[in-house]
Copies of this chain bind each other. A is one copy, B any other.
Amino acid sequence: MSQDPLVIFTPSGKRGRFPVGTPVLTAARKLGVDLDSVCGGRGICSKCQVTPAYGDFPKHGVSVAQDALSDWNAVEQRYDDKRGLKQGRRLGCQATIRADVVIDVPAESQVHRQVVRKAAQIRAMVMDPATRAVYVEVEEPDMHAPTGDFERLKSALSAQWGVPTVMADLPVLRKLQPTLRKGNWTATVVLFQDHKGAPPRILDIYPGFDDGRLFGLAIDLGSTTIAAHLTDLRNGDVLASSGLMNPQIRFGEDLMSRVSYAMMNPGGDVEMTRAVREALNTLAAEIAAEAQIDPLRIMEVVFVCNPVMHHLLLGIDPVELGQAPFALATSDSVTLGTAELELDAINPAGRAYILPCIAGHVGADAAAVALSEDPGARDDLTLVVDVGTNAEILLGNATRVLACSSPTGPAFEGAQISSGQRAAPGAIERVEIDPVTKDPRFRIIGCELWSDDPGFADATAAIGITGICGSGIIEAVAEMRMAGLLDPSGLIGSAEQTGTARCIAQGRTHAYVLHDGTEADGPLIAVTQGDIRAIQLAKSALYAGARLLMDEMGVDQVDRVVLAGAFGAHISPKHAMVLGMIPDAPLDAVSSAGNAAGTGARIALCSTAMRARIERMVRQITKVETAIEPRFQEHFVAANALPHATAPFATLRGVVDLPEVSFNTAGGDGGRKRRRSRAAT
């Protein structure tokens, strides 16, 4: 085979073939990958750092050899000597392509790296934190009645605060003596006491009286995005929220790809564990810097995550989660030292709490959504859908709560979409298409104006128009369907069929151009047939999961739908329903809960009673396993159309107009059509 090597960039999923010898930076630019460069490829700025991934990537259909890139060269060596390159990094302007390769663009090498979407929801927290600060006066040592400084501190805590017995980790013992002397035998002690009955533990100690400002991180560790909320442990206030892409993306976009990577590459799970822990340290340091607080004041971290991320965070091989019966290594909540997770960016005596998992495919993130939205507390039947790379779905009322998860894939987060990107400034987030002219208008993150408003070009000049994010692609596809550019099977019509030159041919299919792109404001942004298919797969999975729970509950409709997750906070219920993402419900019964998993993490961070509560709740939730349920497959196939065939689209009738069009032709999409037909029987 004389084909050029295949280059795949993560997290964008953009791919292309390039001649041997092409610099990585050149390939990235040609594909429109968001890879920074300031020095113009001279190996000085190091902004174009990339991390090549090696091994087998069945998901991408490639196997990457160790010599897939050119050898480490003198320019890289010089940079490494002078300023240091992280282990495994290459300079994109120096490394050239030799063979098929998967290249990860780390967050700091992306121009548009800020993740803004997983913001903290404003909510009053019940404050009952595990960690608090107390001031004590300690007796001075007496040579003639010798006891240790720690023993006299324990006596003081017992006498002055009624704390009967207390433990301390080595970092505290190490600083105890200078601290007590500096504070002239008074100190402020950081006490940790969880709800599991272990003795209280001293996490840190400060000389004299201290204002006692202590912080925790509530972390929503998603497959694609890691979001952290820096929280004041006195009042639950969120001081800063920040996010990073999960660097594990380079090992596989979705959970099962990562499990496969671990199975096929010895030590692959260790690599992934290392990658996510490094990212957590980066994130913790960034958020502390942003809030201008001392990272040593971060005492606790609460994690919510799906089971695969849960295992990889803990350093447990997730292989059992890839095959029936999907056994978790541990399902109960986990409390441990953050040092055991190698989180060295925060206080070395910090404590981590991971919410319990519900089942092998229904993780601590689903538990967090349950804690935040609590469908069991209401009489009406609520469907809670938390959309990420995996959707967590809860259905319940005061009588019974069911839970499942559904593998939607990363499309809803803008990944695996041709012009897709993370939700960040410059990303198209809202789309409208005129049903008559078939022309679009849109808004980008970072600007309040629509693209046809006067002054839009000036207002966005500095930001650029860089791609389309998850909520943008949802609206674009729904609007295309409403404007008659898509038929119910999901085919994009040709310019001839639709009457607009924006429908351009791409091989045997078509794409709809949202934005032409210019030198000034960025690349051409279009919705391709592949993008439509990715969204169809994602929304079918989401719908099928919800529908499966409804079957289990024995209902045909629900009273309320709560959309949660980064997606849930930003998309209009109307568009979601046009796509058939969620079961039919009155539009005014669909609400957004923002980042419910993140909110659940914050609730658990602020209250040990709430930790005990979710630990009880998960035992009462009925788990439904989608992976081996034949009805899930049936619902999945039947939900492929726009909107899906099994939902009669009743509540939207009269609200939106869906043109009856069909763009199918003999050679076009026969296979898929056959599948639909079978499912419809």
Contact = CB atoms under 8 A, between A and B. Distances in A.
Q: Which 8 A-B pairs have the closest CB atoms?
A: A148-B331, A146-B359, A141-B327, A150-B330, A143-B325, A148-B328, A148-B330, A141-B325
A625 B150 contact: no
A625 B327 contact: no
B329 A176 contact: yes
A371 B141 CA distance: 26
Nearest to A326: B143
Given A148-B327, A148-B328, A330-B148, A320 B143 contact: no
Contacts of A329: 148-150, 173-174, 176-177
A324 interface: yes
A316 interface: yes
A170 interface: yes
Given A143-B360, A143-B625, A149-B328, 19 more contacts: A141-B327, A144-B625, A146-B327, A146-B328, A146-B331, A146-B358, A148-B328, A148-B332, A149-B329, A150-B329, A150-B332, A151-B331, A174-B329, A176-B329, A177-B317, A177-B319, A177-B327, A197-B199, A198-B199
A193 to B, nearest CB: 14
A149 B315 contact: no
Contacts of A316: 173-174, 177
A360 B148 CA distance: 8
Contact of A315 (B143, B168, B170, B177): B170
A142 B328 contact: no
A144 B325 CA distance: 9
Nearest to A359: B146
Contacts of A170: 314-315, 336, 340
Contacts of A359: 146
A357 B360 CA distance: 48
A515 interface: no
A160 interface: no
A426 to B, nearest CB: 41
- Which one of A328, A330, A331 has the highest number of Cβ atoms from chain B below 10 Å of its Cβ? A330
A410 to B, nearest CB: 25
- Which one of A150, A199, A324 has the highest number of Cβ atoms from chain B below 10 Å of its Cβ? A150
Interface in A320-362: 320, 324-332, 336, 340, 357-360
Given A170-B314, A315-B174, A147 B336 contact: no
Contacts of A628: 143
Interface of A: 141-144, 146-151, 168-170, 173-174, 176-178, 197-199, 314-317, 319-320, 324-332, 336, 340, 357-360, 623, 625, 628
- Tell me whether chain A's interface is mostly helix, strand or loop, or mixed: loop
Contacts of A174: 314-317, 329
Contacts of A177: 316-317, 319-320, 327, 329
Number of copies: 2
18 contacts: A142-B325, A143-B325, A144-B623, A146-B326, A146-B331, A146-B358, A148-B332, A149-B327, A151-B330, A151-B332, A169-B340, A170-B336, A173-B316, A174-B316, A177-B317, A177-B320, A177-B327, A177-B329
A157 to B, nearest CB: 14
A330 B625 CA distance: 52
- Which one of A174, A178, A197 has the highest number of Cβ atoms from chain B below 10 Å of its Cβ? A174
Contacts of A332: 148, 150-151
A280 to B, nearest CB: 16
B328 A173 contact: no
A314 B173 contact: yes
A359 B358 CA distance: 51
A168 B329 CA distance: 12
A625 B145 CA distance: 10
A269 to B, nearest CB: 9
Nearest to A141: B327
A298 to B, nearest CB: 21
Nearest to A145: B623
A314 B172 CA distance: 11
A427 B330 CA distance: 57
Contacts of A142: 325
Given A173-B316, A177-B320, A314-B170, A623 B146 contact: yes
A647 to B, nearest CB: 28
A187 to B, nearest CB: 14
Contacts of A358: 146
A177 B173 CA distance: 36
A327 B138 CA distance: 13
A330 B169 CA distance: 12
A352 to B, nearest CB: 11
A166 to B, nearest CB: 11
A509 B150 CA distance: 51
